[in-house]
Amino acid sequence: MSLQDANPLQEAFAISLPLETNLEPHLRNALQHVLSNEGSMVRPQIIIDLCAAYAFPEDNARQLAIALEYFHTASLIFDDLPCMDDAVERRGAPCVHVEFGEPSAILAALALINRAYALVWRAMSACPAPLQAVAMQYVEEHLGVSGLLNGQSLDLNYSALPHTLETTQRVAMGKTVSLIRLTLVLPAIICGAPPRELQLLDRIAVFWGLSYQIVDDLKDVLQGSGETGKTTSRDLSLDRPNVALLVGVHAALERLDRLLRLGDRALDRLLLQRPATTFLAKLRGTLQQEMRHVTESACAGRSQGGS
């Protein structure tokens, strides 16, 4: 099902923000660039599969999936700006601000956000008012000052914070877990999943989100280690939170392993309650494979004298 759906979902990403003929050309070009360079689409596919597990109408599921991918894409455009991470490349193409200037990048990101709220709204129109209220509060909480925005601000201002595991976790909870919660829990809220399943999905989102962040931290620390035999790190030079920098590669790997096992436990329980969420077990496999790959890099790095 995932393979069959890959193309329709990419197409939905490209066409769900209609660009009228009278749109100002700079903004149009920036948006066309964004809409034709979609990401891996793993997140929207999870939403489609999750909604299917709860027999939620397909059209509404797709609206929700694209909405979340638009929010995510907008957050990347802002993160990449010169005043934030000052990135030059994203999704294999030049960043929007590099190609079309900062104003058009900002306006394009705002256009994605505006459209995303409208799509969430439409997706939710299929469910009862009390669920809509809970879902909207969930969106607000995880995108706003209690979620993603706080995470991004903590990340940018990490140098002013105590460099502890607790701080790195606060950043990851805001910046990474918020969007994964919106991917795993919000669809289930909208589908009317029972509280026990929401709780298990929330635990999976937290453990996988924190795991995902550690894998990212390890990659950052180990990148180029094959060639140099030494660790190189962008997080180190920018003074950004990184678990592997803080406690070392070995302890980070142990922590990752523990988090994945906690996630497994929650997932096993969810599968008993809702066998149709078995697609999540495949995703867990991908995460574990990635962990194994990172572990091997770490061992190779160490055997060459790196730490």
What six digits make up the tokens of 54?
């709860």
Q: Which residue has the tokens 């592997």?
A: 244
- Identify which range of 55-63, 156-164, 222-230, 252-260 contacts a second copy by CB under 8 A: 156-164
Instruction: Confirm if 229 and 306 have CB atoms less than 8 A apart.
Output: yes
Position among 95, 154, 172, 210 found at the interface with a second copy (CB under 8 A): 154
CB of 178 to a second copy, least distance (A): 12
CA 139 to chain centre: 14
Instruction: Confirm if 9 and 51 have CB atoms less than 8 A apart.
Output: no
- Identify which range of 19-27, 53-61, 211-219, 252-260 contacts a second copy by CB under 8 A: 19-27
CB of 171 to a second copy, least distance (A): 9
Position among 1, 88, 145, 251 found at the interface with a second copy (CB under 8 A): 145
- Identify which range of 146-154, 178-186, 251-259, 274-282 contacts a second copy by CB under 8 A: 146-154
Q: Among 300, 136, 148, 123, which Cα is nearest to 222's? A: 300
Position among 2, 37, 81, 283 found at the interface with a second copy (CB under 8 A): 81
Q: Among 158, 180, 164, which Cα is nearest to 72's? A: 180
The verdict on 93 binding a second copy (CB under 8 A) reads no
Burial, 162: exposed, middle or buried (Cβ in 10 Å; 0-12, 13-18, 19+)? exposed
CB neighbour list of residue 2: distance below 8 Å, 6 or more residues apart: 45, 49, 279
The verdict on 111 binding a second copy (CB under 8 A) reads yes
The verdict on 83 binding a second copy (CB under 8 A) reads yes
Alpha-carbon span 25 to 256, nearest angstrom:
46
- Identify which range of 130-138, 185-193, 198-206, 261-269 contacts a second copy by CB under 8 A: 130-138
Position among 32, 37, 150, 169 found at the interface with a second copy (CB under 8 A): 150
The verdict on 118 binding a second copy (CB under 8 A) reads yes
DSSP bridge pairs for 89 = 94
The verdict on 19 binding a second copy (CB under 8 A) reads yes
Burial, 136: exposed, middle or buried (Cβ in 10 Å; 0-12, 13-18, 19+)? middle
Instruction: Confirm if 178 and 151 have CB atoms less than 8 A apart.
Output: yes
Position among 5, 9, 13, 27 found at the interface with a second copy (CB under 8 A): 27
Site residues (vs a second copy, CB under 8 A): 17, 19-20, 22-27, 31, 78, 81, 83-84, 101-104, 106-107, 110-111, 113-115, 117-118, 121-122, 125, 129, 133, 136-137, 139-140, 143-146, 149-150, 152-154, 156-157, 160, 170
